[in-house]
Amino acid sequence: MKKDILHDIIAQKQIELTQQKASVPESALEEMLDGRPADGRSMKKALAESRVGIIAEFKRKSPSKGWINRDANPLEVAEGYVRSKASALSVLTDEPFFGGTLKDLANIRKAVEVPVLRKDFIISRYQLLQAKLTGADAVLLIAAALSPKDCFLLAQEAHTLNLEVLLELHSEEELGHYNEYVDMVGINNRNLGTFHTDVENSFRMAGKLPKDAVRVSESGISSPETIHRLREAGYQGFLIGETFMKTPDPGKALSDFIKRLDL
């Protein structure tokens, strides 16, 4: 039997949340939000209007590959991505498994004007408050980590905080997690239990998604040809991290990739 990495990540996330809430209560986060501007940048709009549609990701490591770019500077990478015309940015904020932090997100938000996604394993309203406080415009909700009811409640709460929601699905069995508060639907080509990646999953799922959904293909995209095929299948967003982050200059890697798209 293959190891279920997602189970381990969620167990760790629950421990982290207990510790964080003991240190900074949820009520304290709510007080910090008082008086802050509620408006955010729309990632949904950015993807729908972009000819490129690439969500460039800041990612130091992964459970399957280990360290990808351990010493990457978040500001340098983010600014390079924006110069290279990324439509939006994704910032991993899970530390034990992905080497990211909320500080990375906060620093990147101050440096760029494009929409920024907090990519983490969100299972609590507390994490939504953290996302808003650190400047996220959107959050990822992972169907494999949530019940349909919890997904609905978190998506609804995200909207009260003016955070857009990218719902991540992997299989047809998870379609029931879709709800009225979902702004974008992502198809993860990576199985979060085994971390096996197959980009054909996006094509298998394309015809099963709501017709009016802004669609995002996530993981395993390494060639412009794949993006052309995905666009034909109805996708408007393409979340790419490792392809860029494994290079010495992720921003340049994105620029070279977009040139090869020949738009």
Catalytic-residue membership of 13: no
**Alpha carbons 61 and 50: distance in angstroms, whole number:** 28
Catalytic annotation, pick one of 59, 107, 164, 191: 59
Altogether, the residues listed in the chain come to a count of: 263
Catalytic annotation, pick one of 13, 44, 62, 168: 168
Q: Specify the 3-state DSSP secondary structure of 4.
A: coil
**Alpha carbons 191 and 202: distance in angstroms, whole number:** 12
Catalytic annotation, pick one of 62, 87, 90, 188: 188
Catalytic annotation, pick one of 57, 164, 174, 242: 57
Catalytic-residue membership of 85: no
**Alpha carbons 117 and 89: distance in angstroms, whole number:** 6
Catalytic-residue membership of 188: yes
**Alpha carbons 221 and 56: distance in angstroms, whole number:** 11
Catalytic annotation, pick one of 164, 174, 218, 242: 218
**Alpha carbons 96 and 94: distance in angstroms, whole number:** 6
Catalytic annotation, pick one of 44, 61, 119, 132: 119
Distances (CA, A) of 47 to 41, 77, 79, 139, 165: 12, 20, 19, 15, 13
Catalytic-residue membership of 59: yes
Cβ contact 61:70 at 8 Å: yes
Residue 203: what are its φ and ψ, rounded to 5°? -70, -35
Catalytic-residue membership of 168: yes
Residue 171: what are its φ and ψ, rounded to 5°? -135, 165
Here the tokens at position 242 are 């490792």
Residues annotated catalytic, as ranges: 57, 59, 119, 168, 188, 218-219
